[in-house]
Amino acid sequence: MAALDFVNQLFRRGKRITDIFTVTRSKAIKWQENTLRKMLYYARNTEFGLKYGFEEILLEKDVTKAFRKRVPLTNYSTMHPYWQREYAGESNITWPGRSQHYALSSGTTEGASKYIPVTKDQLKAMLRGTRRQLLAMALTDVPKDFLAKHYLLVGGSTSLNFDGVSYSGDLSGICTANIPTWFDRFSMPDESITALRDWEEKVQRMVEEAPNWDIVFIAGAPSWVRLLLERIISHYNLKTIHDIWPNFSIYCWGAVSLAPYKHSIESMLGKPVIFMEAYMASEGYIAFQVKPESEGMRLIFRNNTYFEFIPFNENNFDENSELKPNAKAIGLESIDEKTDYAILITTPCGAWRYLLGDTIRFTNKEACEIKITGRTKQFLSITGEHLSVDNMMQALQMVADEMHTDLPEFTVKALKLENEFAHNWFVACNDPKIEAVAVRTKLDNHLRKLNDDYDTERNHVLTGMNLTLLPESVFMDWMAKHNKLGGQSKFPRVLADKQYQDWLEHVHAYQSQQS
């Protein structure tokens, strides 16, 4: 009963809990139209709303059709001039009022930091999504008092930058700094630790406080959670993390694939835990895994987020993954389970028909469940090989499984050399017995089996494949060098030109030290 009482607190204002678990595509289509109308009405008097005639759109018989006709597709580059004005203090530009908080995000494609507004309405949407996710977890096979124990949030610093007008920082830090008071007694670590900006100091403090917590649920990027668990086990000379947290039952991750880290995390457990995925971006809370057995994550509806999808193909994107002028977006009514889509979102951060940069595929279109397959800018197609990050992750995990080792990090760059085209791989491996040539051969074979285009190009034009094995610490040191340890930071899987040059210098410096 205690859990049910807490659930009632979580879902005030008469929200129907069953809506979370009984989503159908027909319901979702109706909810999405209502959400769009509501958002257009809220923002009708903003500069963006006046420019694109939100009031006129609302008067149309087919609001969705009018919205897609009048409002252009956008991305960070097109929204940046509007958001820069909001950051400087202007109001009613893309969303009513102005945001005081801005999430710093470089994604994994560009080097320069992006400033994404996190409005009050956006924070409310984030909190609603989190409440729903907690409920989904509470209804799995967890301790009866799951909702009354401690949750460990391994995220960015809550100590935000302030320039006299606006606050900026990691999204997880902003969200943690704005969680409701009633949640404080459940959320760990406390503010004295979450406010720390130095990642190493933060980890050390969490290690010191670990015996004082009764952790039942952990959320955070796999790389950083694995590191924290390793430090705790080593510091207290434990066999498993369950020796100190016997009630640890669920691990929720996002941002990157779990596959390269799952074996390592499982090796530190004393008993099975439930793994559940969430999809949160700086621009909105997109989806979460409702049931452990689900293959994908369910899109979050009735939460001020409107979704559209662009088939990720040559009709809509050019060879540089830029949107073509005639690119067409579709809604839930037209999706299938065989196509990769670039996802578009409209959210209360003031993002309108915004190209998020991720590609997804529907694993169950009737239940509106998806999986992330990669990034629009993070795939390789220098000769037409169309190699997605999803392909890379699958193939590398197959290699790791076959060789009974962990390959937790990797990055790759497509190169046009003097006499050939090539892929230059860098893979993390801490096992000195593993040889690069064996990894390269197995990886190439698996990629050929997973991707017919890659196989064809490897037989003809894409004749080069280089692979360098490096300790995982080399990848972490590069992240530290760019102040990207912890939080939502993740290593870029496909390197842009400037990143590649910087990475090469970093690798060469490491190799020089070893020689």
**How confident is the model at residue 104, as a pLDDT?**
82
Residue 145 has pLDDT above 80, yes or no: no
Q: In terms of residues, how long is the chain?
A: 515
What does the pLDDT average to over 197-224?
A: 92
Q: Kindly report the average pLDDT of the chain as a whole number.
A: 88
Helices (H) and strands (E) counted in the chain, each on its own, are 18, 20
Work out whether the CA dihedral 442, 377, 347, 284 comes out positive or negative.
positive
Instruction: Please name which of 438, 301, 432 lies closest in space to residue 368, comparing C-alpha atoms.
Output: 301
The dotted CATH code for 122-281 is 3.40.50
Instruction: Give me the pLDDT at residue 181, please.
Output: 67
Of the candidate ranges 181-185, 219-223, 255-259, 339-343, the one whose mean pLDDT is the lowest:
181-185
Report the C-alpha gap between 116 and 99 in whole angstroms. 10
H or E stretch including 303?
none
239-to-142, 217, 405 alpha-carbon distances in Å: 22, 19, 20
- The winner for highest mean pLDDT among 44-58, 259-273, 368-382, 389-403 is 44-58
**How far, in Å, are 88, 131, 283, 366 from residue 81 at the CA level?**
11, 33, 16, 38
Q: Please, what sign has the CA dihedral across residues 318, 321, 326, 327?
A: positive
Task: Round to whole Å and give the CA distance between 246 and 265.
Answer: 15
The Cα 205–Cα 160 span in angstroms is 19
> In this structure, which topology does domain 379-514 adopt according to CATH?
GMP Synthetase; Chain A, domain 3 (3.30.300)
Question: Where do the domains of the chain lie?
Answer: 122-281, 379-514
- Residue 112 binned pLDDT confidence (cut-offs 50, 70, 90): low
Return all residues near 160 (Cβ < 8 A) that are at least 6 apart: 101, 167, 168, 169, 173, 174, 177
Residue 491: exposed, middle, or buried by beta-carbon count in 10 A (0-12, 13-18, 19+)? buried
Alpha-carbon gap, residue 495 to 87, rounded angstroms:
29
Distance, in Å, from the CA atom of 286 to the CA atom of 307, rounded to the nearest integer, reads 9
Give percent of the chain with pLDDT exceeding 70.
Answer: 92
Chain position carrying tokens 């670039």: 342
Q: 3-state class of 87 per DSSP?
A: helix
136-to-153, 226, 297, 374 alpha-carbon distances in Å = 17, 24, 12, 26
Question: Residue 199: what pLDDT?
Answer: 85
Q: Is the pLDDT score of 14 beyond 90? A: no
> What DSSP element (H or E) covers 20?
helix 18-21
Over range 195-220, report the average pLDDT: 93
Tell me which of 13-17, 104-108, 129-133, 287-291 is least confident: 13-17
pLDDT at residue 261, rounded to an integer: 85
HSE value, Cβ hemisphere, 13 Å, CA-based, for 317:
22
- For residue 194, pLDDT over 90 is answered with no
Phi, psi of 388 (to 5 degrees): -90, 160
- CA 241 vs CA 211, 266, 405: distances in Å: 11, 10, 21
The two beta strands, 369-375 and 297-299, are: antiparallel
Strands (E), 123-258: 150-154, 161-162, 167-169, 187-188, 215-220, 250-253
In tens, the pLDDT along 77-101 reads: 999 999 999 999 999 999 999 999 9
| Residue 309: per-residue pLDDT | 98
pLDDT of 381 reads 80
8 Å CB contact between 347 and 284: yes
